Every structure is written in structure tokens, then in C-alpha cells.
Amino acid sequence: MVKITVIKTPDERRWLDTLWNALWTYREDSIPEGDVMYDSEWDDICFAMARIKERLGLEDQDYG
């Protein structure tokens, strides 16, 4: 059973940190570097996170 952690902070940067931590685990465990298909999937993930960061007005923050 997966335990869901509730983030109880209004700080959007913490939200992104939480997502990046999960995504990096996914990258390390499930989509290894060096395979074109997996690298393309990681690029799509990074692009989506950049758009989220932009929408939150956090473009100047470094994530991922």
C-alpha cells in the first residue's frame, strides 16, 4: 500500500521540491539514462515541470 504524504505548506517551492524528489526517484529506478525512448520521456517530464514552474511564477528558481 502506498502512503500518501499531505504537504501542509503554502510554499509552492516546497511543492515543486516534493515533485522533483519523486521524479528523480522515477528517473533513477525506472527510466535509465542512455535509452532514446527514456531520455525523451525525461525531456517531456522536465518540460512539463518547467511549464508548471512558469505558471506558478517561479521561473527564477532552479529546480530539476
DSSP secondary structure letters along 13-62: HHHHHHHHHHHHHHHHHHS-TT-HHHHHHHHHHHHHHHHHHHHTT-TTS-
What is the reported pLDDT for 17?
87
Model pTM?
0.70
Q: What is the CA radius of gyration of the chain?
A: 13
Q: What is the pLDDT of residue 1?
A: 63
Which tens digit of pLDDT belongs to each residue from 6-54? 666 677 788 888 889 999 999 999 998 999 999 999 999 999 999 988 8
